Structure 1
Amino acid sequence: MTQQVELGLHTFGDVTVDAAGLPVPQDQVLRDVVEQAVVADQTGVDFIGLGEHHRDDFAISSPEVILGTIAGRTSRIRLGTAVTVLSTDDPVRVFQRFSTLHALSGGRAEPIVGRGSFTESYGLFGHDMADYDTLFEEKLDLFAKLVKEERVTWSGQTRTGLKDQVVYPPLAQPMPVWVGVGGSPESVVRVVRQDLQLMLAIIGGDPKRFVPYVDLYNRAVEQMGRTARPVGVHSPGHVAATDAEAQEQAWPAYKEMYGRIGRERGWSPVTKASFLSEVNHGSSYVGSPETVAKKIAATVKALNLQRFDLKYTTGPIPHAVQMEGVRLYGEKVIPMVRDILSGR
């Protein structure tokens, strides 16, 4: 039996470099992201997700604005985030932005919400990290109600309540909502409790170590009497013509990005050996179309996924190189994955 799977792409709008090795201005990076999404649409990619950040190394801080531009340039690709940092936003405004995008795109909006793995937005928008858990728990609860109910009544500690409130524009058709989860059992159960879709962020180690989380999801669905929803995975990677070329292009950018984040967070220095370990045995999908397709198909089978999204930017990889990677993913990787899963 053929395993049905959707294949998407994610980007944070990583600030790239020009021919001289200098950082490209963020305004140009944003325009480049639109062009990458257009190529993704033309080559058969199912979904494009833009990650929200508030830093100098990632250009995207207002994903829905860019998604609106992409909607006007594309016809079929579904449009979402990776992730919307719901903890530091207002759920009503998030709903309004996405219901507007959903209307303008003909029902193609598909947000992925989460806490985010970076904390800059907390101070920027006046939130206290001490409220980290409460903020997300309450705001996700309200957002889930807004997506499912025409009139919403809600109360909590983190904002004023709503009573029999209609929020405009309403959804004219259902809108899928995913929750990005980094590997906490409590987060998996929360997704089921809110009857939303689970997106596992697997950015390191053997992806098979997440099998228990998928099993937990399925047990929670059964115990709570919910309907099983699609389960997806977000992982980094890079596609080029050959394995050697993909590694040569990806390693310097990987070293730059993870080296900086590691210094901020007190991690051990990034090494070429650790990079290659992730490529060969872990959750970094770097290589030729054949190599990446085989690895994606293996992960899809192991976790029984309905969606796999590749974060195709990891650090300052030049725009032209990213464009070629997006093209190869759509034209080569996606058909190969589907052939493998169908047994052809």
Structure 2
Amino acid sequence: MELGISTFGEVEPDGTPGNAKNAHLRVQQLLEEVKLADEVGLDVFAFGEHHRPDFVISAPEVFMAAAAAITKNIKLSSSVTVLSSADPVRTFQNFATVDLISGGRAEMIAGRGSFIESFPLFGLNLDDYDALFTEKLEMFLQINKQEIVNWQGKFRAPVKQGVYPRPLQDGIPVWIGVGGTRASALRAGRMNLPMIIAILGSNPKHFVPFVEAYRESAAKAGHDVDKLQLGISSQFYVANNADQAADEFYPSYAALMTRVGRDRGWSPMTRDSFEWLRQDGPLVVGDVQMAVDKIMQQYELFGNTRFIAQLVTGHTPHEKILKAIEIYGTKVAPIIRKETAAA
């Protein structure tokens, strides 16, 4: 199993038109995090796209390019690219450029996004939420396969010419990032694309039918189900002591979930709710053995080929985040790889 990290780059908003000192510091910290993840042998590092004051990453490809220059082996991805509100041609060019800089390590996780700020920001109609994603994904995949593109759709001017540069890889690996919508799983399976599920607030068992639908859709379309790649993403924090991990992670997690919950009508996060999510829900928060047990429980449920640990970092000191990455790469990852190889 591949093991990696994703981040949204939480940041305390500077609230100024310039002189963004908090954002500058957070960017430097993110580069330290990906450099360490590479050094401790993790497989993937993914940057999530958002257009909000509390997240510093709006252009994942720029972060990926910066990371490419300071890493050697780790795959670099978005998590996700909000393709619905992006231009497929420019997006492909950006990812192809990262692939050339990194020596063939670029990937894209494409999704519709869990926030909607990008639609009014780029002058798009939210009523076209799904149609935009469907069309732009199809266009991106065509560009990815063909040097000379002949494309005509509803939402974008036609293209009939070459798109450059081309990547070092045969094509940019494209995953579909989903949050639990059955139609998304069916589409990913039908298109024979790797799928990654964000399991954030429910018991992981609830997603088993969703994964079954993905595989059944692929089989019905004539694809080899045994070759499908499936990723699971859960929020993650590990320390040498389980109680220490919970105490260090909770303030950041509670702040994030309460802040997001205000927009979505959720109740504020409490310590009791947090402990349920940690013990019986999807949170992977604890010591090395607890992290191994949680990741392996998901592996037994889904047979996934990749696990992505989503860092939540808002109120946790940076040196503790780095320590968590170190423990993940040097202590958790070797056990997971050994156990999944044996399985």
Q: TM-score if structure 1 supplies the norm length?
A: 0.93
Q: Give the letter aligned to residue 214 of structure 2.
A: Y
Q: Give the letter aligned to residue 119 of structure 2.
A: Y
The separation in 2 between residues aligned to 1:115 and 1:287, in whole angstroms, is 31
For 1:23-172, list aligned pairs within 5 A: 25-163=22-160, 165-172=161-168
The separation in 1 between residues aligned to 2:293 and 2:148, in whole angstroms, is 46
Q: Give the letter aligned to residue 103 of structure 2.
A: G
Aligned residues: 334
Determine the structure 1 residue equivalent to 2:241.
Answer: 242
8 Å Cα contact 2:196-2:232 kept in structure 1: yes
The separation in 2 between residues aligned to 1:331 and 1:116, in whole angstroms, is 32
SS at match of 2:195: strand
8 Å Cα contact 2:6-2:310 kept in structure 1: yes
Residue 259 to residue 24, structure 1, CA distance change in 2 (3 Å) = farther
8 Å Cα contact 2:100-2:167 kept in structure 1: yes
Determine the structure 1 residue equivalent to 2:281.
Answer: 282
Determine the structure 1 residue equivalent to 2:17.
Answer: none
Q: Give the letter aligned to residue 9 of structure 1.
A: I
Q: Once the two structures are superposed, what CA deviation does each residue of 1:80-117 show, in whole Å capped at 9, x if it has no partner?
A: 01111111110111100001111111110011110111
The separation in 1 between residues aligned to 2:37 and 2:169, in whole angstroms, is 24
8 Å Cα contact 1:10-1:49 kept in structure 2: yes
Q: Give the letter aligned to residue 306 of structure 2.
A: R
Q: Give the letter aligned to residue 286 of structure 2.
A: G
SS at match of 2:192: coil
Q: TM-score if structure 2 supplies the norm length?
A: 0.93
Q: Once the two structures are superposed, what CA deviation does each residue of 1:112-160 show, in whole Å capped at 9, x if it has no partner?
A: 1101111111111111111111111111111111112222222211111
Equivalent in 174, 177, 180 of residue 180 of structure 1: 177
Q: Superposition RMSD on alpha carbons, in Å?
A: 1.7
8 Å Cα contact 1:92-1:167 kept in structure 2: yes
Stretch moving more, 59-68 or 189-198: 189-198
Give the CA deviation at 1:57.
Answer: 1.2
8 Å Cα contact 2:313-2:321 kept in structure 1: no
SS at match of 1:204: coil
SS at match of 1:317: coil
Give the CA deviation at 1:341.
Answer: 2.6
Q: Once the two structures are superposed, what CA deviation does each residue of 1:228-287 show, in whole Å capped at 9, x if it has no partner?
A: 421101111111111100100111111111111111211122111111111001111001
Give the CA deviation at 1:185.
Answer: 1.3
Determine the structure 2 residue equivalent to 1:7.
Answer: 3
8 Å Cα contact 1:294-1:340 kept in structure 2: no
Give the CA deviation at 1:172.
Answer: 3.4
8 Å Cα contact 1:294-1:337 kept in structure 2: no
The separation in 1 between residues aligned to 2:85 and 2:168, in whole angstroms, is 27
Identical positions, percent: 41
> Is 2:314 aligned against 1:315?
yes
SS at match of 1:73: coil
The separation in 1 between residues aligned to 2:189 and 2:340, in whole angstroms, is 27
Determine the structure 2 residue equivalent to 1:339.
Answer: 338
8 Å Cα contact 2:253-2:312 kept in structure 1: no
8 Å Cα contact 1:16-1:318 kept in structure 2: no
8 Å Cα contact 1:243-1:287 kept in structure 2: yes
The separation in 2 between residues aligned to 1:286 and 1:47, in whole angstroms, is 20
Q: Give the letter aligned to residue 261 of structure 1.
A: V
